[in-house]
Chains A and B, each alone.
Chain A
Amino acid sequence: MKIKKALLKDTFKEIKKSYKRFISILMMALLGVGFFAGLRASSPDMVDSIDTYYKNQNVYDIEVMSTLGLTDADIEALSNIENVENVYGTYSRDGLIQTNDKEIVSKILCVDDVNQPVLVEGNMPENIDECVVEKSFLEGTGKKIGDYIDIEPEETESTGTTDGEETEYLKNKTLKIVGVVESPLYISRERGNTKLGTGVINYYIYVNKENVNSDVYTEIYITLQNRDKYQTGSHKYEDYVEETKDKIEQIKEERENARYQELINEANAEIAKAEEEFNTEKQNGETQLQDAENEINEGKAKIESGEAEINNNERTANQQFKNAEAKIESAKTEVAKNALRLNNEKIEAEKGFEEAENQKAGLQSTLDNINNAIKITDNSIAEKQAKLETAETEEEIATINQEIAKLQATRQVYETNKQSVEAGMTEIDNQIASGRQELQNAEAQIASARNQIQSQESSLQQTKNKTYTQIANARKELEASKQEIQDAEAELETKRAEFNTKIQEAEGKLIDAREKVSEIEKAEWYILDRQQNAGYSSYIQDTESIENLSIVFPIVFFAIAALVSLTSMTRMVEEERQEIGTLKALGYNKFHIMLKYLIYSSLACIIGGVIGMNIGFQLLPRIIWDMYSMMYTLPEFIVSFNHQYSSMGLGLIYICIVGATLYTILKEVKETPATLLRPKAPKYGKRVLLERVGFIWKRLKFSHKVTVRNIFRYKKRFLMTIIGIMGCTSLILAGFGLKDSISSILPNQYEDIFHYDMLVSLKTALTEEQRNTYIENLKQKENIQEVVETYMESGTAEKGDNSETVQIVIPSDNQEIDKVIKLRDVKTKEPFTLSEEGIIITDKLAELINANVGDTITVTTADDIEKEIKVVGITENYISHYVYMSKALYQQVFGETYSTNVLLVQDNNLNEEQEETVMQEMVAQNEVQTVTLTTTTMKTLDDTMSSLNYVVIVLIVSAGLLAFVVLYNLSNINIGERIRELATIKVLGFYDREVYDYVTRETILLTIIGIVLGLVAGYFLNFYILGTCEINILRFEKVIHPISYLYATAITLVFSIIVNIVTYFALKKIDMIGSLKSVE
């Protein structure tokens, strides 16, 4: 293939020789493909990033919520649905956190297997007394990891807890912050609304699931089978989800009813139980009352019988006593008789005794005689004995012993006499003693009888006393019993009354309870998907607007690329006409001849395209992501090489460039070699239309005539220049316009519409008096000019299917509000006044929910009260949505009492520092919850919006590159194509400057036309871009400042001047001789 080799060599030499042309085509391909691929890839890259994030964190596909909570039975039912992979029941609730005098509202979420948060720092909450927070929570509250927070979960009507006893939602309400996380459910700054605090959720926190105390799930999250096959946000994914949602929809009613029935059954059982209890209670109560009554009656009977008994007893006692007394009396009489008899007996006895005594005395004297005789005997014995002792003979002794024995026998007789006397005496004594004893006994008998009677008498008396006392006591007791019974009767009466009221009450309660059961609303399921997640949906919306943008921009580039390559290649082919002719004459076929040019342009195209796509894929998505990362929190942005867009971009640019080449070359190779070898007839000069307008044409300078004629002579170049410059200018203008629109938002909102310097929100717990005192004091302060009282709460406004989150503002005075917030018509600027007729809503809100003056929209407050209200005005506004309502209307419609919670304060033109000081003072006061300075708000917003400068820079740089490539190329072609003409005029003696003017005059004219058209196109492009990237809560004023037109013009001119300077030197270098010598 020698032929080919030679041709290839020739091709590479050609590239080297005409490197400028090659580079300009390459640059066009680079820019075209780079922009196309880069911009087109931005949106998929963003989608890809969130898709990966969501897959990694196992984010739900479908979410089910119910007005009555969800149960395990629901989970079971959902698990059986086709396509459903996992079903997770989980809990969430809003809660209040108090920190440094600030009250913040947080969403309390549970760490679960679904929607896993990404741990950024620290640990996950492993214990029930731990929690993790988002980064801005730490920034906003000044807390650190390791600090503790107290959280008070919202008390709800606890759907489903029929026991009536409110259990604590969290087991542990003091939580230690152990980590920082990012939640895939909250990728934007939007945290949603709440009934707590100011109505806006500030942060989310995650707690351990074990910490939650709830018998129903608040949400069920569902993940689908095979979902890895689909990319989130894609139609296939959405169809898949929709399909499954439809299936869930089919069991929805059944489950709703089941839950409702469950609750009703539970409640009914509860009521039945209560009823039964009530009945038994009632029964019991009644029985008790009856018993008490019976008892009382019994008591009464007892008292009666007791009384009878007592009387009886008394009577018997009296009788008995009488008998006893009679007995005693008779006894007494007998005793007295006996005593008398005794006395007589006694006297007789005494006589007997005297006789006895006398006998005795006789006895005594006998005794004494005996005793004397004994004594004498004894003495004689003693004498004898003594003689005995002296007696020495036996006879004497025996005689004395006989004498003694005789004496002793005498004495024995004496002794026996004595004893009988003594016995007689004793008998007498005994007789006396027994006589006396008998008397004594008789006396004692009488005495004892007397005693007996006496004791009988006294005991009778005692008994009498006792009996009477007893009777008296019994009577007393009876009296007391009577009293008791009376009391008991009274008590019974009251008890009965009490019982009746109680029963009535209980009955009423039962009725109420029954009514409540009948009032249990049917459960309603909400089957949601990711699109209902605020962060996700706005993210996806943004990727869509980027996609829209990415369609428009590359079109400009492709158009220009096609034009540039068309002109360049035409020029190239024309230049090499003779070579083509020669080759043809030598016998090369069409294909081989064309090959050189096709290779040439293909190389430029492919090299440029590949470089371009690599730069584009890396650079543009990142720049765009940089802008969006201010609004969204995603852990990682994934930039991928998108084969679809790269091949598409390359293909498109290839068609443009190589197509243009083919078009030119095909025209040439058709000609015969002879024609080709002859120089091509130069473009004929032609008269232009303007020449026919004599009076203008005649007045034109000669050089201007030339210019005019040239412009019309080279139509391709004319078009290319105008489109190129137009593109450049319009891109720059759009960039600046975007900046103008965005930067006008803040001054428009905070200087034209809002005139307050501070927004002071008061604590909710204040009494009317505290509040009024505070406001009065505030008004007195010398720094403060105006204080306007309002009530604000967040809510939603909806009409049809469109719903938006709004701030509801109710001023306490319809006139006062005008001092701090201008309510006025968008166009006529005519001021509105609040009235009872209806509400005034902000313009963007009106646009979004498609509401006009006179329409009725639904306004829902933070407390979920829904009311339909007529719109009477649409007011100018730029940031967020507001619904303005008069106090009277609010009270009338919502039926709630108005109480100021927000003060809009205007100060005496304080500088920032002074404002800061005033704010510090205010915050320190007990009545104040928060103070927001308008300047601070503006600064924060300004920071966010300054990110949009990137857009402007991207636009300007791309526009500049575009302008440069186009103009440079143009200038090259211009010079190349007209080199002979230029050499001629140089030979004629045109100064460099004049030659330059001769050439560039037309370029400048075209540039000016291009700029003018570009300004017009930029005006519309700007609107288009604004339309596609406008955020819901912002209204962009469609404005481009005059200075921006100036900038766009100036920057375009600068680019063209740079190119012209290059041209100037290129012109200077033109070799006159060489150019003129050659054959045309």
Chain B
Amino acid sequence: MAYIEFKNVCKEYKMGEIIIKALNNTNFSIEKGELVVVVGPSGAGKTTALNILGGMDTVTSGDVIVDGKNVAKLKNKQLIKYRREDIGFVFQFYNLVQNLTAIENVELATQICKDSLSPDEVMEKVGLADRKKNFPSQLSGGEQQRVAIARAIAKNPKLLLCDEPTGALDYKTGKQILKLLQDTARKENMTVIIITHNAAIAPMADKIIRFKNGTAESIESNQNPIPVENIEW
């Protein structure tokens, strides 16, 4: 049994009279420690899938198994607990708390987790040891995203979910962020899922899931992932 399994997952949104099927019988599985890149056009359902996987959204039908736990069946409070302990999120727009310094943003996450990592160590890992006392507004976009990643991984989650982490960044910085993620997956043996509309970066992944029209159209395992530095786009 795979570490993560999406089984016949359907997600419908009601928009007034109309029912929109965001996910239509989606199936895929991910192994522990894999770096997965989810690609697909806008509205294909990748973010919905990620949100469901991250415990931020619920399914209409189907099962989502994460490490033997059926996330689809969790109640609200259990879902929060799941997010709290098992999931790390990285967003396109960093979503740092502006009123907290970099290290404090990390602490914000670690203070609620049992097996959290030391914020300082994490900050060092993401290469911001010397900027940790800065407020988000004093950091560049890449640095802010590093803080966001640090905040996500400091919780020592089972899953690191990244929704377009480079969407708001320039090429170079984006590359650095992707590298950080790849390194994290490799070094920490963390399961990392990255959503992107940029299919060019797919080769860096262990597994590439392509979404189209609400389903995982293809799931492709990449036996030889290419280090990010070597990918050009």
Q: A-side interface residues toward B, CB under 8 Å?
A: 681-686, 702-703, 705-706, 709-710, 713, 980-981, 983-992, 994, 1072-1073, 1076-1077, 1079-1080
What is the CA–CA distance of A706 and B107 in the complex, to the nearest angstrom? Answer: 11
Q: Contact between B51 and A1073 (Cβ–Cβ < 8 Å)?
A: yes
> A682 contacts which chain B residues (CB < 8 A)?
98, 136-137
Is residue B143 contacting chain A, with contact meaning CB distance below 8 A? no
Q: Contact between A989 and B83 (Cβ–Cβ < 8 Å)?
A: yes
Q: Contact between B93 and A1079 (Cβ–Cβ < 8 Å)?
A: yes
Instruction: Flag B86-113 by CB within 8 Å of A: 1 or 0 each.
Output: 0101010101111111001001110111
> A685 contacts which chain B residues (CB < 8 A)?
98-101, 135-137
Q: What residue in chain A is nearest B81 (Cβ atoms)? A: A989
Q: Contact between A702 and B104 (Cβ–Cβ < 8 Å)?
A: yes
What is the CA–CA distance of A607 and B83 in the complex, to the nearest angstrom? Answer: 46
Q: Contact between B56 and A1073 (Cβ–Cβ < 8 Å)?
A: yes
> B57 contacts which chain A residues (CB < 8 A)?
1073
> A686 contacts which chain B residues (CB < 8 A)?
135
What is the CA–CA distance of A641 and B113 in the complex, to the nearest angstrom? Answer: 63
Instruction: Flag B22-39 by CB within 8 Å of A: 1 or 0 each.
Output: 000000000000000000
Q: Contact between B80 and A991 (Cβ–Cβ < 8 Å)?
A: yes
Q: How far is the CB of B55 from chain A (nearest CB, A)?
A: 8
Is residue B131 contacting chain A, with contact meaning CB distance below 8 A? no
Q: What residue in chain A is nearest B98 (Cβ atoms)? A: A682
Is residue B85 contacting chain A, with contact meaning CB distance below 8 A? yes
Q: Provided the pairs A681-B137, A702-B108, A1080-B93 are in contact, do residues A992 and B98 lie with their beta carbons within 8 angstroms? A: no
Q: Contact between A713 and B99 (Cβ–Cβ < 8 Å)?
A: yes
Q: Contact between A990 and B112 (Cβ–Cβ < 8 Å)?
A: yes
Is residue B77 contacting chain A, with contact meaning CB distance below 8 A? yes
Is residue B84 contacting chain A, with contact meaning CB distance below 8 A? yes
Q: What residue in chain A is nearest B168 (Cβ atoms)? A: A1079
Query: Interface residue count for B (Cβ, 8 Å)?
Result: 36
Q: Contact between B83 and A987 (Cβ–Cβ < 8 Å)?
A: yes
- Picked from B82, B95, B137, the residue with its CB within 8 Å of the CB of A1076 is B95
> B113 contacts which chain A residues (CB < 8 A)?
989
Q: Contact between A988 and B98 (Cβ–Cβ < 8 Å)?
A: no
With A685-B100, A1076-B93, A1079-B93 given, name 11 new contacts (CB 8 A). A684-B137, A685-B135, A706-B100, A981-B99, A983-B95, A985-B97, A987-B95, A988-B83, A994-B112, A1072-B56, A1080-B93
16 contacts between A and B (CB under 8 A): A682-B137, A683-B98, A685-B137, A703-B111, A709-B99, A713-B99, A980-B95, A981-B99, A988-B155, A989-B80, A989-B83, A989-B84, A989-B112, A994-B112, A1073-B51, A1076-B93
Q: What residue in chain A is nearest B76 (Cβ atoms)? A: A992
Q: Contact between A710 and B99 (Cβ–Cβ < 8 Å)?
A: yes
> A990 contacts which chain B residues (CB < 8 A)?
80, 84, 112
Q: Provided the pairs A686-B135, A990-B80, A992-B80 are in contact, do residues A702 and B107 lie with their beta carbons within 8 angstroms? A: yes
What is the CA–CA distance of A912 and B99 in the complex, to the nearest angstrom? Answer: 69
Q: B-side interface residues toward A, CB under 8 Å?
A: 47, 51, 54, 56-57, 77, 80-85, 87, 89, 91, 93, 95-101, 104, 107-109, 111-113, 135-138, 151, 155
Q: How far is the CB of B77 from chain A (nearest CB, A)?
A: 7
Q: Contact between B104 and A988 (Cβ–Cβ < 8 Å)?
A: no
Q: Contact between B51 and A706 (Cβ–Cβ < 8 Å)?
A: no
- Picked from B81, B95, B112, B137, the residue with its CB within 8 Å of the CB of A984 is B95
Q: How far is the CB of A462 from chain B (nearest CB, A)?
A: 168
> B151 contacts which chain A residues (CB < 8 A)?
988
Which residue of A987, A988, A994, A1073 has the most chain B CB atoms within 10 A of its CB atom?
Answer: A988
Q: Provided the pairs A684-B137, A994-B112, A1073-B56 are in contact, do residues A989 and B87 lie with their beta carbons within 8 angstroms? A: yes
What is the CA–CA distance of A317 and B77 in the complex, to the nearest angstrom? Answer: 172
Q: How far is the CB of A601 from chain B (nearest CB, A)?
A: 28
Q: How far is the CB of A726 from chain B (nearest CB, A)?
A: 25
In the complex, the 7 A-B pairs of residues with the closest C-beta atoms, listed nearest first = A989-B84, A685-B135, A989-B83, A684-B137, A685-B99, A984-B95, A682-B98
Q: Provided the pairs A702-B111, A987-B56, A990-B84 are in contact, do residues A981 and B97 lie with their beta carbons within 8 angstroms? A: yes
> B51 contacts which chain A residues (CB < 8 A)?
1073
> A1076 contacts which chain B residues (CB < 8 A)?
91, 93, 95
What is the CA–CA distance of A819 and B158 in the complex, to the nearest angstrom? Answer: 87
Q: What residue in chain A is nearest B133 (Cβ atoms)? A: A687
Q: Contact between A684 and B104 (Cβ–Cβ < 8 Å)?
A: no
> A991 contacts which chain B residues (CB < 8 A)?
77, 80-81, 84
